[in-house]
Amino acid sequence: MKRAFLGEFEEVVLLTVAVLDESAYGVTVTQEIEQKTGRAVGFSTVHTTLQRLEEKGYLSSKMSGATAERGGRRKRFFSVTAAGRKALVDVKSIREQLWDALPPQTLQLMGG
Amino acid sequence: MKPPRWASTLLDWWGDPNTVEEVQGDLLELYAYWVKTGGERKARWRYGLSVVKLLRPFAKRKEAYSNPFFLHPAMVRNYLKIAFRNLVKHKGYSGINMGGLAVGMAVAMLNGLWIYDELSFNTYHQNYDSIAQVTERGIRKEGTRYSGTSLPYPLATELKANYQSYFKHILISQQPDDYILAAGDTKLTKKGQFIEAGAPEMLSLKMLRGTWAGLNDPHSILLSASAAEALFGKADPLDKLVRINTKMDAKVTGVYEDLPHNTGFHDIKFLAPFDLWTSVNPWVKEQQWDNWFLFIYAQIQPNTDFDRVSALIKDIELNKLKGLEGQQEQIARQPQIHLLPMRDWHLHGHYNMDDTGPVQFVWLIGLIGVFVLLLACINFMNLSTARSEKRAKEVGIRKAVGSLRGQLIGQFFSESFLVVLLAFVWALVLVTLSLSWFNDVAAKQLSVPWTNLYFWLASVGFTLLTGFVAGSYPALYLSSFQPVKVLKGVIRVGRFATIPRQVLVVLQFTVSVTLIIGTSMVYRQIQYAKNRPVGYSRDGLLMIQKKTAEFSGKYELFRTELKNTGVVSEVAESRSSVTNITMWNGGFSRKGNEIPCPNGCGTLSVTPEYGKTVGWEFRAGRDFERGRTTDSSGLVINESFAKMIGLKNPVGETLVWATNWRKAETYTVLGVVKDMVAMSPYEKTVPTVFLMENYHDWINIRIHPNVSTAVALPKIEAVFRKLVPNAPFDYKFADQEYALKFAAEERIGKLAGFFAGLAIFISCLGLFGLASFTAEQRTKEIGVRKVLGASVFNLWRLLSKDFVKLVVIAFGIATPIAWYSLATWLQNFQYRTEISWWIFAVSGAGALAITLLTVSFQSIKAALMNPVKSLRSE
């Protein structure tokens, strides 16, 4: 079966959701990416990516946890589906295969 | 410390409704975080930016499946392909649909062209809007109104002297007549008009040679192109000499393009100055207010209108007549001078103002055209609705696999538009092919205005309308079906679904049957009038008009010479031809009692042999006798006149004839002859007296009954060539002239017959389609019935019954309509046939027979089908 394509930012978002486990929603995902990667991420970008990943079936979501801070509005919590996990594993194994295929001297030159 | 209001509002309105709740919450939380980490200004900025990016146009998720727009080129191509396949698959239906529609459209187009021609009569003239003919309106003793164009000479001088400022032209003219044009050795008879010099300009003649000023010289003549070519061939006609009626010399000063067929002047082939005519007829200018014999044409100034000028001039004649002696009868008619605008000449310019006249015929033709077209449209609608039930399943499947309603509508419409468009093309072909024939029948010169924008606009508009009307039922109704119900077969078309279709069939046959009855009646009336006893013998009766002075005083010579040829049995001269009465008078009395002549009595001068020549049939008394001097004060009267005298035997009675233009004389009635039909064969015979005086315009020649015309004519011609060498030998046959009196009605008859035939043809086409459809729909039922023992006759009756019922209803509706309109039509004729019931019976039976023939073909075919096959089908 053809592997689904996972963009770089999609991979980052998907991984972040997996990292955050139970507490992954728009705000936490945005902040986590900012802190971990140090790059300024727009909320809208994160939001649309989450939507797209859900459309592709890698994420599932449910609404809950309204707080006063949010004006009484619920959060949409995301969790990684089986397909999502498989996609992450696939990406990781491709990376590893590629790293393993690197000749040792190139690896040394890169400072690894 | 709140985020910017505008951004929140924007998100409220335009955010994606599916995610707006969590997005709003998330952004609020983040705003607080951004304020903490980067300050308020930056937070507001980031908040606003995020909102804008999340608005739907930028962040909308893509739809899972998109429907193409229903007018997308790919869809249209698909519609057409499917439509075309449908047409080819059902060749029979398509043929009926298209054929019927094409015929209907062709008829409508022909009628449209005809009506356009009638309504655009005279528009060839550029001054169409300002030209008028001066007329005299009055009321007869019986109360009917008339509008005459013959006017007294002084009226023109009066108009010119006192009212010139309102007119651009006031043109006095002799009534158009046949004249002999001679140039060198060529002699021709052409119709022409002597008219004043402004005519070419007023009529905006297109001059091929010379100018509009051509008539200013009193010895000039303007020829139409056809007359010029007939006279001079290819040679340049300008400045050539033409002699008119052997006594008026004129020089050709111009040649104009022949006027088109749809102008009032189209049969005028030359124009010559009025003064040329008066130069040889000096009496004209001496005439007073009591002689009505001239035409006056006028063009009004642009700053005034017909009504205003008419109001100013209306009493001119009445005022003059009041000053004259002996005009009480004329004054009693209240004559009013009136301008008849050119736009009314053709359709509203007839003499009897109370008759509806030719305009009625125009509307009648229009109505028939509309009806025939309606019949074709009904076919189209009926067949598409009947077939549409079959297509319900198709709609179900299409919807199930994802068609939208708009696409289905598009598909059904494109199908009907395709059919209508093809039918339109066929109609154009039909019109082109049949136009020359139609022109023959209708006595027109129509042509398809290929380059006329309005023609195309009307055609395209009409095509679209028909396509829309015919396609709207399947398009709008069928496309609304729910696929689940249709596919499960839940939608059952109830028994009332066929009612509109039945109503339409009844309408079709009502129109057709009415037309059939009407046509039969028109033919019957014509036949009735043709069979009318004419009172004289038409066969082998030759008439020659004495057009020039050359003829005068040669009667005896002619008679002996003609009789010497051996092919002529008798020769006589007369005032009128036998098919006309050209002299009307009143003023007869017997013993002081006036003999009332309602519209004047014919007073015709003849030579003694006239009775023998034309074949008078005597009821009483005797004919004139040559050599009996007392006969010069004798009268032969016809039966109608005898009836007015009121005596059982008027022979030998003494009558007095006194009019204001001749001195009173007494006459003795010598004989009574059977009525001769001289004027309209549909009207009462005109009371006529024949007397022996000496003003004759015609020579009547009776060819010997044993000699054929072909043998006789050359011999007669030789005599004329010898005695009147300068006059062309123009002869007329009495029977042909008489037949011309039927031309108008025969034209109506032919046209009506043609339309009635097409109407019934189109209706039958539709019926044929419907019958085959029902037979097809009831295949199973027929199969079961056959298995259970129904005979072919039973089945035939079953299938035909419905249609016969409809035709019978249609006949019931058509009968009173036809009866009423025919009764009205027959009122136009004084000599008319009765409306007999058998015409209705025969027409009804005929319609029924045609229906049965049409339907039976299908129903017998269905009834003969093998039930094994029909029950196995599925």
pLDDT tens-digit series, residues B697-708: 899 999 998 888
Is the pLDDT at B505 greater than 90, yes or no?
Answer: no
Q: What pLDDT, in 10s, does the model give residues B574-599?
A: 988 888 888 888 888 888 888 887 77
Q: What is the residue range of B773's domain?
A: 495-533+735-874
Is the pLDDT at B487 greater than 70, yes or no?
Answer: yes
Do residue A25 and residue B33 have CB atoms under 8 angstroms apart?
no
Q: Which of A31, A66, A71 sits opposite B33 (nearest CB)?
A: A31
Is the pLDDT at B285 greater than 90, yes or no?
Answer: no
Q: How far is residue B35's CA from residue B2's CA, in Å, rounded to a whole number?
A: 10
Residue B65: its chain A contacts at CB < 8 A?
Answer: none
DSSP class of B171:
E
Indicate which of B29, B44, B65 best probes the interface with A, i.e. most A CBs within 10 Å of its own CB: B29
Token representation of residue A83? 């397909």
Q: Which of A44, A48, A70 sits opposite B28 (nearest CB)?
A: A70
Do residue B22 and residue A63 have CB atoms under 8 angstroms apart?
yes
Looking at the domain assignment, is residue B386 inside a domain? no
Is the pLDDT at B489 greater than 70, yes or no?
Answer: no
Predicted pLDDT of residue B15: 78
- The count of CB pairs under 8 A between chains A and B is 66
Q: Which helix (H) or strand (E) holds B54?
A: helix B40-54
Q: Which residue of B has its CA nearest to A44?
A: B50
Which pLDDT band holds residue B530 (cuts at 50, 70, 90)? confident
Is the pLDDT at B390 greater than 80, yes or no?
Answer: no
Predicted pLDDT of residue B465: 85
Predicted pLDDT of residue A1: 40
Residues B652 and B777 in one domain: no
Q: What is the residue range of A30's domain?
A: 8-109
Q: What pLDDT, in 10s, does the model give residues B787-816?
A: 898 888 888 888 888 888 999 999 999 999
Residues above pLDDT 70, as percent of chain B: 96
Predicted pLDDT of residue A112: 53
Which among B263, B166, B273 is positioned nearest to B215, based on CA atoms? Answer: B273
Q: How many domains does chain A have?
A: 1
Q: Which of B19, B27, B61 sits opposite A43 (nearest CB)?
A: B27
Residues B228 and B269 in one domain: yes
Residues B149 and B276 in one domain: yes
Residue A48: its chain B contacts at CB < 8 A?
Answer: 54, 59
Do residue A52 and residue B25 have CB atoms under 8 angstroms apart?
no
Q: Say what the pTM is.
A: 0.72
Residues B725 and B739 in one domain: no
Q: What pLDDT, in 10s, does the model give residues B252-278?
A: 999 999 999 889 899 899 999 999 999
Looking at the domain assignment, is residue A95 inside a domain? yes
Token representation of residue B344? 């009314």
Q: Between these two residues, A41 and B230, which has the higher pLDDT value?
A: B230
Residue B411: phi, psi to the nearest 5?
-65, -45
Looking at the domain assignment, is residue B71 inside a domain? no
Predicted pLDDT of residue B148: 86
**A87 to chain B, closest Cα gap in Å:** 22
Residues B147 and B278 in one domain: yes
Burial class (CB in 10 A: 0-12, 13-18, 19+), B735: middle
Residues B636 and B623 in one domain: yes
Amino acid of residue B675: D
**Which sign, positive or negative, has the C-alpha torsion B830, B836, B840, B846?**
negative
Is the pLDDT at B496 greater than 70, yes or no?
Answer: no
Q: Which residues on neighbouring strands pair with residue A75, listed in sequence order?
A: A64
**B40 to chain A, closest Cα gap in Å:** 17
**Which sign, positive or negative, has the C-alpha torsion B213, B215, B218, B219?**
positive
Q: Between these two residues, B184 and B69, which has the higher pLDDT value?
A: B184
Looking at the domain assignment, is residue A1 inside a domain? no
Looking at the domain assignment, is residue A66 inside a domain? yes
Q: Between these two residues, B66 and B463, which has the higher pLDDT value?
A: B463
The CATH number that applies at residue A17 is 1.10.10.10
Q: What pLDDT, in 10s, does the model give residues B189-224?
A: 899 999 999 999 999 999 998 899 989 998 999 999
Choosing from B692, B715, B734, the residue where a domain stops is B734
Do residue B53 and residue A76 have CB atoms under 8 angstroms apart?
no
Is the pLDDT at A56 greater than 60, yes or no?
Answer: yes
Predicted pLDDT of residue B272: 93
Mean per-residue pLDDT, B302-317:
89
**B54 to chain A, closest Cα gap in Å:** 6
Looking at the domain assignment, is residue B571 inside a domain? yes
Mean per-residue pLDDT, B295-300:
93
Q: Which of B24, B26, B59 sits opposite A25 (nearest CB)?
A: B26
ipTM value greater than 0.95? no
Residue A75: its chain B contacts at CB < 8 A?
Answer: 22, 25-26
Predicted pLDDT of residue B270: 93
Residues B684 and B579 in one domain: yes
Do residue B21 and residue A48 have CB atoms under 8 angstroms apart?
no
Is the pLDDT at B64 greater than 70, yes or no?
Answer: no
Is the pLDDT at B874 greater than 60, yes or no?
Answer: no
**B27 to chain A, closest Cα gap in Å:** 8
DSSP class of B354:
T
Q: How far is residue B563's CA from residue B612's CA, in Å, rounded to a whole number?
A: 14
Query: B-contacting residues of A 26-65, CB under 8 Å?
Result: 26-27, 30-31, 42-45, 47-48, 51-52, 55, 63
Q: What b/e readout covers B95-125, taking b as 16+ CB neighbours within 10 angstroms?
A: ebbbbbbbbbbbbbbbbbbbebbbeebbebb
Residues B756 and B861 in one domain: yes
Residue A74: its chain B contacts at CB < 8 A?
Answer: 21-22, 25
Residue A70: its chain B contacts at CB < 8 A?
Answer: 24-26, 28-29
Is the pLDDT at B299 greater than 90, yes or no?
Answer: yes
Q: Which of B21, B30, B49 sits opposite A27 (nearest CB)?
A: B30
Q: Which residue of A has its CA nearest to B63?
A: A55
By the 8 A CB rule, do B699 and B544 touch? yes
Residue B26: its chain A contacts at CB < 8 A?
Answer: 25-27, 30, 43, 47, 70, 75
Residues 6+ apart with CB under 8 A from B479: B395, B405, B408, B409, B412
CA dihedral B103, B109, B110, B114 (to 10 degrees): 160
Which among B157, B445, B173 is positioned nearest to B293, based on CA atoms? Answer: B173
Do residue A43 and residue B22 have CB atoms under 8 angstroms apart?
no
Residue B28: its chain A contacts at CB < 8 A?
Answer: 69-71, 73
Is the pLDDT at A6 greater than 50, yes or no?
Answer: yes
Do residue A43 and residue B26 have CB atoms under 8 angstroms apart?
yes
**B21 to chain A, closest Cα gap in Å:** 6
Looking at the domain assignment, is residue B463 inside a domain? no
Looking at the domain assignment, is residue A3 inside a domain? no
Is the pLDDT at B553 greater than 70, yes or no?
Answer: yes
Choosing from B734, B766, B789, the residue where a domain stops is B734
**B504 to chain A, closest Cα gap in Å:** 57
Predicted pLDDT of residue A5: 75
Residues B287 and B203 in one domain: yes
What does DSSP say about strands B688-691 and B601-605: parallel, antiparallel, or unpaired? Answer: parallel
Q: Which of B19, B29, B50 sits opposite A42 (nearest CB)?
A: B50
Q: How far is residue B795's CA from residue B405's CA, in Å, rounded to a whole number?
A: 40
Residues B609 and B638 in one domain: yes
Residue A27: its chain B contacts at CB < 8 A?
Answer: 26, 29-30, 33
Which pLDDT band holds residue B173 (cuts at 50, 70, 90)? very high
Choosing from B324, B348, B372, the residue where a domain stops is B348
Indicate which of B20, B21, B31, B51 best probes the interface with A, i.e. most A CBs within 10 Å of its own CB: B21
